Structure 1
Amino acid sequence: MNFAFTEDQVMIRDAARAFLGEQVTSTHVRRVMAEAEGYDRALWAEVVALGWTGLIAGEEAGGSGLGFVELAILCEEMGRVLYPSPFEATVVLAANLLSALGETQHLAALAAGDVTATLAGPNAQGQVTFVADGGGYSLTGSLRHVPDGARADLLLVAAEGTDGRTALFAVPGETPGLTRRALPTMDQTRRLAEIEMAGLRLPAGALVSADAGAALTLALDRAAAMMAAFAVGAAERCLEMTVDYTKGRVQFGRPVASFQAVKHQCADMALAVETARSAAYWAACVADETGPNGDLSALARAASGAKSWCSRAYFDCAATAIQLHGGVGFTWEYDVHLYFKNARAIEQVLGDPAFHRERVARLIGLDDTAEAAQ
């Protein structure tokens, strides 16, 4: 077994780290967080030019045809700097789902950077239903906490039909009858929205898939693995900031980092990062090996395990970072404050740790334990 990156993967990591490290500084993050749009369009154009939006799209859709390990590498590097952008919604969610469905028309537009997109479905709270209506479709319902829901050019809306199947529709952001409202959030590096549809009418061509249930399950597990990788990068940055700060902070005539209690807490952070990285990349490997028609149970177990472990490790690292920074850790001027808020938000993305632990328990056969005991 080879647990090391390939030469190409190392190049992707190094190039991403250099680019994001130069462009996405703390000053940049704080500036765009304060703006209504929430991201820098000029920088996003550079990301598109680098080919990142087409990373997992096949060559038939104008993409690079790479896999989820490579995407996890990008997500980890974005997590290190808390890059605020449409990448999560457009690539990790929307392009991922379109790829699982084998759809190329909309995927090509995403890969080329012509549009930004998001998924409005099981990743959000609420429900949308649809009925056939005069050669088209009518959608009704609401969803909350849709990533980039207020600013995405295209929404992939998952709606339940009367036959119990989940269909997927491509809904342009400016469609009449679609109401979008940005939601106030604790972490402004990620923008969430509420969307409402009251008899929203769509033409027949808006239907992307009449039965997208399996593809949604596959795509959301892949996305959970990618968010685990994001958490790894952010957790490692918390460790780095804490080590640097405690080395320079002097108390009682010696660096704070020389105290045993501080050293051991930093060591615990390092262990959390390394175990989280193993979990995240194992899930990414399983995501690469699991196709739309494959056995989804192995991916479900790996993705839920990674999402639960990595998001909790990130939050613990961020909390420890604040503690070891002392009183200044709670001030807005220090970046550990940004990471702490982001860590709490990432815990909730695509299911919190408790949800994923319960899912893993079911997958290893513990769902019927109570019934068996009776």
Structure 2
Amino acid sequence: MERNVTLTFSEEQAELLEVAQNFCRDKSPVPTVRKLIEDELGYDPAVWQEMIALGWLGIAVPEEFGGVGLSMAEVVPVVEQMSRRLMGGPFVPTTLAAQALLAGGTEAQKSRILPEICAGKAATLALTEPHADWDLTHIEAKAVEEGGKLKLSGTKIFVVDAASAEWIIASVMKDGKPALVIIEKAALPEGALRREVVADETRRSFRLELDGVEVPADALLDTSRTSETLAHIDLASSLLLSAEACGAAASCVDYTVEYLKTRKQFGKLIGSYQSLKHPTVDALVAYETARSHLYNAACTFGQQGEGEIAVRMAKSESSDALSFAADRAIQFHGGFGFTYECDAQLYRRRGMWCEYLHGDGPYQRAKLADLLF
């Protein structure tokens, strides 16, 4: 396959990167992150309102629906900087829910919900089930139409920030085919959501029981576009997970280097030892490589064929880069590194989340083999 891609960094991306860098640094220092881990909501509502005021929820939403009218490429630097500071909140799931509506929603659904999302109401996706298959078309939840309503059944897991969401877009099987349905918050019976324990404690993940949930028949997204919508969500999610992994990897490298420059052993700074210097350089090179793939994916996202290849490369490289950088950070901090008080632990947990959602490195490389050869 002949590849001729010009990697560009747009003016909008540069501006958003600078704003996000300063905002996340000021609003999400590590002590605040650790404090919010113990908070039921998991994020600061005041900071969320500031993000709304910055217009971030509408970055990739067309102006006709109240958005800024840019693209997923401009969302990437924001998510990268949020993850660099481990900032919590429903920004990513809401952005992905908006993408689902843009890709497969009816005009009525887009006109009704997207302006409210841009104005600050959160949304999320419910696509993963207990079988944990990364193929989003492997769906066991069901929707049965009776009397103008859809009766839902089944279980969804890893529904991020579901307690904060006004809408949950869930995948179901209807008439033997995959479909997507919008569930209003008010339609959920008591006990339908149950908090999950996940490795990344900065997240708020929920198990959603669909049994007993009923929604209007017009809550279905356009069934003729379900396959395309699920494919779009898969790539959009992978792109943002890559951005999160790159941001976290950068912090791991910085955290390690700072320690190597201050910790002394046998009267020498430990950063002077080759056994620590060389792996740290390897971690930096892996991060820079992953970040190049990330912005290549952002640049080509939406291009048929080329975009999917770039996103899967970015997902594979970023997952591996964060895993290596976080492991080295833990190891080089010695005994302290293996305690919960070491910040590298938080980034290693973030790495587990980013790697295993929507496919780890081997899975992505297997997909790439089919695309490239």
User: Are 2:365 and 1:341 equivalent residues in the alignment?
Assistant: no
> Deviation per CA, 1:183-219, whole angstroms, max 9, x where unpaired?
1112111121111112422113322322322112112
Identity score, percent: 35
Shift of 1:121: 1.8
User: Are 2:253 and 1:239 equivalent residues in the alignment?
Assistant: yes
Aligned counterparts of 1:286 and 1:3: Cα–Cα separation in 2? 8
Shift of 1:13: 0.8
Shift of 1:237: 0.8
Counterpart selection for 1:175 from 148, 173, 187: 187
Q: How does 1:156-305 map to 2 (within 5 A)?
A: 156-164=169-177, 166-177=178-189, 179-211=192-224, 212-287=226-301, 289-290=302-303, 295=304, 297-305=305-313
Shift of 1:299: 2.7
User: Are 2:161 and 1:148 equivalent residues in the alignment?
Assistant: yes
Q: How does 1:308-347 map to 2 (within 5 A)?
A: 308-347=316-355
Aligned partner of 2:69: which letter?
G
Shift of 1:364: 2.8
Aligned counterparts of 1:209 and 1:122: Cα–Cα separation in 2? 20
Equivalent pair of 1:110/1:117 in contact (CA under 8 Å): yes
User: Are 2:42 and 1:38 equivalent residues in the alignment?
Assistant: yes
> Deviation per CA, 1:34-62, whole angstroms, max 9, x where unpaired?
11111111110111111111110110111
Shift of 1:315: 0.9
Equivalent pair of 1:121/1:127 in contact (CA under 8 Å): no
Aligned with 1:318: secondary structure?
Answer: helix
Shift of 1:101: 2.8
User: Are 2:55 and 1:51 equivalent residues in the alignment?
Assistant: yes
Aligned counterparts of 2:322 and 2:369: Cα–Cα separation in 1? 22
Unaligned runs of at least 5 residues, structure 1: 366-374
Aligned with 1:208: secondary structure?
Answer: coil
**TM-score normalized with structure 1 length:** 0.90
Shift of 1:159: 1.4
2:136 corresponds in structure 1 to none
Aligned counterparts of 1:227 and 1:345: Cα–Cα separation in 2? 9
Aligned counterparts of 2:319 and 2:129: Cα–Cα separation in 1? 16
Aligned with 1:174: secondary structure?
Answer: helix
Equivalent pair of 1:228/1:311 in contact (CA under 8 Å): yes
Counterpart selection for 2:114 from 95, 107, 111: 107
User: Are 2:127 and 1:121 equivalent residues in the alignment?
Assistant: yes
Aligned with 2:145: secondary structure?
Answer: strand
Counterpart selection for 1:139 from 152, 171, 185: 152
Aligned counterparts of 2:372 and 2:56: Cα–Cα separation in 1? 36
Shift of 1:324: 1.3
Cα distance, 1:123–1:247 mapped onto 2, change above 3 Å: farther
**TM-score normalized with structure 2 length:** 0.90
Equivalent pair of 1:68/1:285 in contact (CA under 8 Å): no
Which 4+ runs in 1 deviate beyond 6 A?
none
Aligned partner of 2:113: which letter?
H
Aligned counterparts of 1:219 and 1:123: Cα–Cα separation in 2? 16
Aligned counterparts of 1:22 and 1:176: Cα–Cα separation in 2? 36
Aligned partner of 1:63: which letter?
G
Q: Quote the RMSD (CA, aligned, Å).
A: 1.9
Aligned counterparts of 1:89 and 1:222: Cα–Cα separation in 2? 11
Aligned with 1:84: secondary structure?
Answer: coil
